[in-house]
Structure 1
Amino acid sequence: MITKSEEAGWATAKTLAEALPYIQIYDRETVVIKYGGHAMGEDEVAKLFAADAVLLKLMGLHPVVVHGGGPQISRMLDRAGVKSTFIDGLRVTDEATMEVAEMVLSGAINKEIANWITLAGREADVRGVGLSGKDARLITVTKAERTRKDPDSNIEQVVDLGFVGEPQKVDAELIEVLINSEKDYIPVVAPIGVSEEGQTFNVNADTVAGALAGALKAKRMLLLTDVPGVKDGNGELIRQMTVAEAAELIRTGVANGGMIPKLETAMAAIADGVEAVVILDGRRPHAMLVELFTEFGAGTLIKA
């Protein structure tokens, strides 16, 4: 008679065997993972994410993590008595806000994620390396420019977002050195950039992930968020779509709110050479593994 423990062992072996074709597809390929502020959750969720990132490295992939931290920045700003304002989803960043954003993103969050990865990978000597876009001029930015129509005059007006930047150039040499090292390093990048003149800027983490994925010609970019993926007009999850179909969802208003910048980031990354982008729920345990190593995936895959 086969025990439950033996049945579990056979089921695990079957799962590993079924994953073999996908493991070979991603062997020595780069996967950029955007780990969102709302997807970070509690410590247990962070530990599971770190363990899965380590597993990807040990399976022959090159994971590169880019993290957000909007909710954490907001909490710190509230403590400091600094009021936040947003325009079209982007935080207006004055000097005080920029100081807090860099402290939270490049400091507490970045080092915590890198540490979770190092702890998860200590038996195999896999290590997380915390960086920001300022290190080795990884991300050179220009000041973000936005316009919006005045509701009274209907005239386009320039909006000053303060120290909010957009990637102008990505020098991925440092990342490539780390992921191709004989040591098993996993880069963890905070979305802080620097201008040609040396000024520090806050950058949208989705945008940083897309720009970095394009520079690295990543096989996949995974946008871990707090929704299952992209939904159609009937509220049903779309498993796969093309760039043209994504653009149509935006045009018709089916995609709205925070999903619009995610789709725009996905389309830009694919235009830069990323094979495909997946939007998936980072709160679900092992979502990355299900997406990469099973037939049906875990979210919405967008490709050219």
Structure 2
Amino acid sequence: MKSAALQRNALSDLVILSCVGLRLVLVHGGGPEINAWLLRTGHEPKFHNGLRVTDAHTMEFVEMVLAGKINKSLVTEINMLGGTGVGLCGKDARLLTVRPSSESAVLGFVGVIARVDPSVLHPILADGHIPMITSVAADEAGQSYNVNTDTATGELAAAVGAEKLILLTDVAGILGDRNDPGSLVKEIDIVGIRRMMEEGMVAGGMIPKVILLYKHLNSMNQCL
């Protein structure tokens, strides 16, 4: 999301894959732009264990930037590249229903996904369109919540029975030494992930990504 050229290249690849018959769902965030808008209004972005601390003021900017500005910008870009993007957020057709995080006293309006209803996605995918989803959602009472994009991606992938899950990020990936960009871990199993988490080798925005990976690998092992 930080480089317009890389963003355009990635979206162009999605359009090509869609044209050859793959059915794709794009889930996006927009942290840097949220940070920029908060700073413009004199609010310092805050994070806790890789998750954005979201008070009422921050929630307004999260929804405005993600569901309004960035989502529609990405849809426009996909359309300009020859695809057909359909912009959604978790509120649309109750795609995502959330409940408050167990750490709501610290995190504020950060939601945990309670239910996924992917039925709105099926006709969109069947018609060859690309659903482009941002992870703003609401609880049963209609209160808006910020949902971690990696978490939402994993839950949506499971709900639609995705064959592949690809995470795009602006960091190298899981590092054996988080201070050494050259220590990229190219392959890992559930035991390795557990060890890295226990030893505190994962930090910042990689925490929810590694937790997502751990959860789904653990689920696969249980199924096997």
TM-score, with length taken from structure 1: 0.67
Percent pairwise identity = 39
Task: Say which structure is richer in strand.
Answer: 1
- 1:171 maps to 117
Aligned counterparts of 2:218 and 2:91: Cα–Cα separation in 1: 25
Question: CA contact under 8 A between 1:131 and 1:190: conserved in structure 2?
Answer: yes
Larger Rg belongs to: 1
Q: What code does the residue aligned with 2:206 have?
A: M
* Mapped contact 1:211–1:269 kept (Cα < 8 A): no
Question: Shift in Å at residue 114 of structure 1?
Answer: 1.1
Whole-Å Cα distance in 1 between the matches of residues 126 and 195 of structure 2? 38
Aligned residue identity for 2:129: Y
- The match for 2:19 is 58
**Given the alignment, which residue of 180, 190, 195 partners 2:126?**
180
Which of 52, 58, 66 does residue 105 from structure 1 map onto? 66
CA contact under 8 A between 1:145 and 1:160: conserved in structure 2? no
Cα gap change, 1:191 to 1:173, in 2 (>3 Å): same
CA apart distance, 1:239? 2.1
Q: Distance in 2 between matches of 1:66 and 1:118?
A: 17
Q: How many Å separate the matches in 1 of 2:19 and 2:219? A: 27
- Three-state SS of the structure 2 residue aligned to 1:131 is strand
Aligned residue pairs total: 218
1:118 corresponds, among 58, 79, 84, to: 79
Partner in structure 2 of residue 17 of structure 1: none
Counterpart secondary structure, 2:84: strand
Task: Report the 3-state secondary structure (helix = DSSP H, G, I; strand = E; otherwise coil) of the residue aligned with 1:77.
Answer: helix
- Give the TM-score of the pair, scaled to structure 2: 0.89
Structure-2 change in CA distance of 1:105 and 1:268 (3 Å): same
Matching of residues 51-90 of structure 1 within 5 Å? 51-90=12-51
Q: CA RMSD in A?
A: 2.0
Q: Unaligned regions of 5+ residues in structure 2, if any?
A: none
- Structure 1 residue runs of 5 or longer lacking an equivalent are 1-39, 147-157, 274-303
Distance, in Å, in 2 between the alignment partners of 1:254 and 1:165 is 25
Cα distance between partner residues in 2 of 1:255 and 1:170? 28
SS at 1:189 equivalent: strand
Deviations 1:176-195 (A, max 9, x none): 221122xx200110110110
